[in-house]
A and B are shown apart, each in its own frame.
Chain A
């Protein structure tokens, strides 16, 4: 950089640039009206976006609730159809006796033989 360059003060440079600052062409008179229209469109769009977003959230919640309901129903069916049988297996033989046509003597000893138990359950379900 030359000595002259260094001597050229910031003030002179600033004054030159300020004086010769490029001036933009004037804005059309209808610019504000155009802006209002644009903002209106944007606001409408933002409402549409919000509605779409809420719709998405609601449908997601509904889908989750439906899945939970189906799950509960399935689990209930599973409990009724499967777990109950297993629970019966753990019941004291005296209770099975009440629900079966087997004689008391046949139930005097604990249920050890699965075939006897299965027979009891089959009889009960019939």
Chain B
């Protein structure tokens, strides 16, 4: 099984990664960032672990229909949704309340404030904003990750952008 996983990793990263450890080193940061931005949950370390266990289990069946990055993000997305549904972690709302809103003079440069703003969005809209602007993925890639049609992604993105603009203007950021 290890041999087959290593082969897959080499094949689908065009030889950039040769084993699971390299794959972990390459993608653990992006996965961690994605989970942190989309799902403000306390057990971030556990969620990342769960994603990589699922990657380990799923790699032998991965056929390369999407890019490896999209596939990994799709797994991360599912893990986070499952965790939220099962209520393993604290509810998003309660966690967001705990995030301190920075003072007026610092809030524009304070990342927690953006995180707090994102927390005002629904899961779908937050996710689409993060994937589009922060991860710089295409609409098609986001559709694959969220497992919805591209049209749905466009509509979610339109609404999310509009709401974010309003929030930023309300706060006098832009």
Contacts and interface: CB of A to CB of B under 8 A. Distances in A.
A55 B98 CA distance: 51
B166 to A, nearest CB: 6
A3 B28 CA distance: 41
B33 A24 contact: yes
Interface string A54-69: 0000000000000000
A5 interface: yes
Contacts of B173: 16
B89 to A, nearest CB: 15
A13 B109 contact: no
A20 B133 CA distance: 11
Query: Which residue of A21, A22, A46 has the most chain B CB atoms within 10 A of its CB atom?
Result: A22
Interface stretch (B9-17, B50-58, B138-146): B50-58
B161 A31 contact: no
Contacts of A35: 24, 49, 52-53
A13 B24 contact: no
Contacts, number: 91
B164 A13 contact: yes
Interface in B22-63: 24-25, 28, 32-33, 35-37, 44-45, 48-49, 52-53, 56-57
Interface in B83-125: 108-115, 118
Given A21-B111, A27-B32, A1 B166 contact: yes
A39 B111 CA distance: 34
B53 A42 contact: yes
Nearest to B54: A42
Contact of A18 (B21, B32, B115, B133): B133
Given A22-B114, A31-B48, A39-B53, 6 more contacts: A4-B169, A16-B174, A22-B37, A28-B45, A35-B49, A42-B56
Interface of A: 1-2, 4-5, 8, 10, 12-14, 16-18, 20-25, 27-28, 31-32, 34-35, 38-39, 42-43, 46
Interface of B: 1, 21, 24-25, 28, 32-33, 35-37, 44-45, 48-49, 52-53, 56-57, 108-115, 118, 129-130, 132-134, 136, 161-162, 164-166, 168-169, 173-174
